[in-house]
C-alpha cells in the first residue's frame, strides 16, 4: 500500500467519526475537503471560502490531494466536534448559523467571524451586534420608482426600533419599525445583488417590504445579526420566563416558499393572472412584481380543524382561461382561492407547504390575526 493510499484510508476512517460526516460550517452531508490549518472537514463550497482566508486557508481534497502523515495526524487530533467546541464556545443564540441552503454572504461571514475574527471563543468578548445603537448607510429601493438610493438607518436596542431617514440631516424618520413586528431575510437573487436583504414588517395589519443592500457583505450580515440581537432583547423582556431555545424560533425566518402562480379573482370569473407569491408562515401574499413594497392581497391559512383545506385541481364548473394547467384550491371559512402552477412539481411543492401550515396548531396571537382577516372579508 502506498503512502497516498494509506492516507486516503485514514481520512475515510476519520469521516466516520461522530461530527465529521457533515461540513463543519454549513452542515452539508459528506464533506470532501479538509482544512489542514484548522483540522475540520468541510464541503466544496465552504472550502472555497476557507481558501480566501490568508492565515488559515490551507485546504485539501480528501480524495484528490496528497496528504502528509503529519497532516492526517493533525486532522485526527482535532475534527469537527472539537473545533466547534473551541470556535463556537460562546456563540450567542441570536447569531444566525447558516446552512448549505443559505447565500454566499451569510456563509462567508459566518466562517470569517468564527475562525478569522474568532468572535465566539471568549465569554467576555463584547460583540458589535449587541451595541445599544447601530447606525449606517444602506442602499434602499424606492417604493415607487424602483431606484436604489443611499439611506441612513438607525437600529436602537433600548426602544426596539429600526428607523430610516431619507435625508442625512432629517430630524424625523421616514419610518420607525418595531423589531417585534419585523422580519429580515437574504434575497440576493430577487434583489439582484449578492448582499441583498429584504426587511418586512406589519403596518396597519398589512405587510410592507423594504429591499436594501450594502457593497460590503460583512456590513449587511452585521445588520442582519444586529436585528436578531435586538429581537431577542425585546423577547426576553416580553417573555421573562422563556428559555433561549423557546425564543430562538421567534427571531428572523426565511419564507417557506416563493414563486409564480396564476390566480383568479373572488368571483372566479375573472381571467387568471400571473402573480408572485410569498408564503410567510400563515400569510400567503401575492404581488404584481417580486419587488413591490405592498402585496396586492393576502390569504390567511388557519388550521384544518377550523375549515381550511387544500385541494388539487379547480372546483367543477370553473371558467379557466389561463396558460398553466396544474391547479391548487385553498378553501377558507369565507371563500375559495384558485391558483395554477406551471409544473406538477411546483404544484406538489406548494401543496406540501400549504398542508404543513394548516396542520400546525395555531398560537393565541395567530387567532388574533385570523380574526382580523375574517373581519376584513
Helix (H) / strand (E) element for 295: namely none
Residue 182 pLDDT > 70: yes
Parallel/antiparallel/unpaired status of strands 59-61 and 40-42: unpaired
Q: Quick one: pLDDT at residue 22?
A: 96
DSSP string, 271-286: PPEEEEEEEETTEEEE
Segment 209-231 shows an average pLDDT of 97
Categorize the per-residue pLDDT at 377 as very low, low, confident or very high, splitting at 50, 70 and 90.
low
pLDDT band at 350 (very low <50, low <70, confident <90, very high): very high
Please provide the distance, in angstroms rounded to a whole number, between the alpha carbons at the two ends of the chain: 75
The model's pLDDT over 134-163, given as tens digits with 9 standing for 90+, comes to 999 999 999 888 899 999 999 999 999 999
Supply the pLDDT for residue 235.
94
Q: Which residues pair with 138 in a beta bridge?
A: 151
Residue 42 pLDDT level (bands cut at 50, 70, 90): very high
Determine how many CB atoms are found less than 10 A away from the CB of residue 182: 20
pLDDT at 3: 65
Q: Give yes or no for residue 374 having a pLDDT over 80.
A: no
Confidence check: pLDDT of 371 > 90 = no
Mean pLDDT of 174-185: 94
What's the whole-number mean pLDDT along residues 25-44?
A: 95
Mean pLDDT confidence for 106-130:
92
Integer CA distances (angstroms), 138 to 175, 229, 239, 263, 290, in order: 15, 19, 32, 35, 20
Half-sphere exposure of 334 (CA within 13 A, CB side): 15
Per-residue buried b or exposed e for 297-310, using 16+ beta carbons within 10 Å of the residue's own CB: ebbbbbbeeeebeb
The angle formed by the CA atoms of residues 354, 356 and 359, to the nearest 5 degrees, is: 105
Edge-to-edge strands, sheet with 336-341? 297-300, 283-287, 273-280, 257-263, 336-341, 326-331, 309-312
Asked if the domains at 128-248 and 257-375 fall in one CATH topology, the answer is: yes
Q: Which CATH architecture has domain 257-375?
A: Roll (2.30)
pLDDT at 138: 97
Give the integer Cα–Cα distance in Å for 128 and 134.
9
CATH of 128-248, one of 2.30.29.30, 3.40.50.300, 3.30.110.30, 3.40.140.10: 2.30.29.30
Tell whether the model's pLDDT for residue 169 goes beyond 90. Answer: no
pLDDT, residue 268, reads 63
Q: Is the dihedral of CA 112, 114, 117, 120 positive or negative?
A: positive
Return the pLDDT at 191: 96
For 267-302, how does the pLDDT look when each residue is reduced to its tens digit (9 = 90+)?
666 788 999 999 999 999 999 999 999 999 999 999
Long-range contacts of 201-205 (CB under 8 A, 24+ apart): 201/177, 205/369, 205/372, 205/376
Could you tell me what percent of the chain has a pLDDT over 70? 97
Residue 366 has pLDDT above 70, yes or no: yes
- Where are the domains positioned within the chain? 3-116, 128-248, 257-375
* Residues in contact with 4: Cβ distance below 8 Å, sequence separation at least 6, in sequence order: 66, 67
- 167 pLDDT more than 70: yes
**Number of neighbouring beta carbons within 10 Å of residue 331:** 16
Q: How confident is the model at residue 364 (pLDDT cuts 50, 70, 90)?
A: confident
Helix 3-15 with 69-77: angle, nearest 10 deg: 10
Q: What is the pLDDT of residue 326?
A: 95
- Residue 158 in contact with residue 132, Cβ under 8 Å? yes
For residue 263, pLDDT beyond 70: yes
Map residue 358 onto helix, strand or coil: helix
What integer pLDDT is reported at residue 56 of this predicted model?
85
Helix, strand or coil for residue 160? coil
More confident residue, 336 or 368: 336
CATH number corresponding to 3-116: 1.10.220.150
C-alpha torsion sign, points 358, 363, 365, 371: positive
What pLDDT band is residue 1 in, cutting at 50, 70 and 90?
Answer: low
Neighbouring C-beta atoms of residue 241, cutoff 10 Å: 5
Q: Where are the alpha helices (DSSP H) in 239-321?
A: 244-247
Q: Which of 301, 267, 258 is nearest to 281 (CA)?
A: 301
Backbone angles phi, psi at 45, to 5 degrees: -60, -45
In this predicted model, what pLDDT tens digit does every residue of 63-112 receive, in sequence order? 888 988 899 899 899 999 999 999 999 999 999 999 999 999 999 999 99
Residue 363: Cβ-neighbour burial (10 angstroms; 0-12, 13-18, 19+): exposed
Phi, psi of 106 (to 5 degrees): -65, -45
Amino acid at each position: 500500500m502506498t503512502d497516498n493510499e494509506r492516507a486516503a484510508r485514514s481520512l475515510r476512517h476519520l469521516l466516520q467519526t461522530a461530527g465529521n460526516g457533515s461540513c463543519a460550517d454549513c452542515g452539508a452531508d459528506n464533506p470532501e475537503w479538509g482544512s489542514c490549518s484548522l483540522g475540520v472537514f468541510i464541503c466544496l463550497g465552504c472550502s472555497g471560502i476557507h481558501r480566501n482566508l490568508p492565515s488559515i486557508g490551507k485546504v485539501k481534497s480528501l480524495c484528490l490531494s496528497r496528504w502528509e502523515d503529519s497532516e492526517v495526524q493533525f486532522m485526527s487530533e482535532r475534527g469537527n466536534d472539537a473545533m466547534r467546541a473551541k470556535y463556537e464556545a460562546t456563540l450567542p443564540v441570536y447569531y444566525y448559523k447558516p446552512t448549505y441552503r443559505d447565500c454566499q454572504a451569510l456563509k462567508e461571514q459566518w466562517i470569517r467571524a468564527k475562525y478569522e475574527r474568532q468572535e465566539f471563543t471568549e465569554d467576555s468578548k463584547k460583540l458589535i451586534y449587541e451595541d445599544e445603537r447601530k447606525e449606517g448607510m444602506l442602499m434602499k429601493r424606492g417604493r415607487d420608482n424602483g431606484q436604489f438610493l443611499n439611506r441612513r438607518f438607525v437600529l436602537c436596542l433600548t426602544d426596539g426600533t429600526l428607523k430610516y431617514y431619507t435625508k442625512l440631516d432629517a430630524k424625523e424618520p421616514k419610518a420607525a419599525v418595531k423589531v417585534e413586528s419585523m422580519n429580515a431575510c437574504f434575497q440576493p437573487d430577487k434583489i439582484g445583488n449578492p448582499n441583498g436583504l429584504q426587511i418586512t414588517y406589519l403596518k396597519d395589519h398589512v405587510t410592507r417590504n423594504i429591499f436594501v443592500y450594502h457593497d460590503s457583505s460583512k456590513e449587511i450580515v452585521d445588520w442582519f445579526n444586529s436585528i436578531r440581537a435586538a429581537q431577542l432583547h425585546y423577547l426576553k423582556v416580553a417573555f421573562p420566563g422563556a428559555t433561549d431555545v423557546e425564543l430562538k424560533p421567534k427571531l428572523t425566518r426565511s419564507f417557506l416558499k416563493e414563486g409564480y402562480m396564476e390566480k383568479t379573482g373572488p368571483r372566479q370569473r375573472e381571467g387568471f393572472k400571473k402573480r408572485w407569491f410569498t408564503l410567510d408562515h400563515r400569510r400567503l401574499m401575492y404581488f404584481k412584481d417580486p419587488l413591490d413594497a405592498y402585496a396586492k392581497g393576502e390569504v390567511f391559512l388557519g388550521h384544518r380543524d377550523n375549515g381550511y383545506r387544500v385541494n388539487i385541481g379547480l372546483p367543477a364548473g370553473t371558467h379557466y382561461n389561463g396558460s398553466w394547467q396544474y391547479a391548487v384550491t385553498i378553501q377558507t371559512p369565507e371563500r375559495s382561492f384558485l391558483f395554477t402552477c406551471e409544473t406538477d412539481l411546483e404544484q406538489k411543492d406548494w401543496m406540501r407547504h400549504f398542508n404543513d401550515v394548516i396542520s400546525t396548531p395555531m398560537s393565541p396571537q395567530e387567532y388574533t390575526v385570523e380574526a382580523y382577516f375574517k373581519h376584513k372579508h
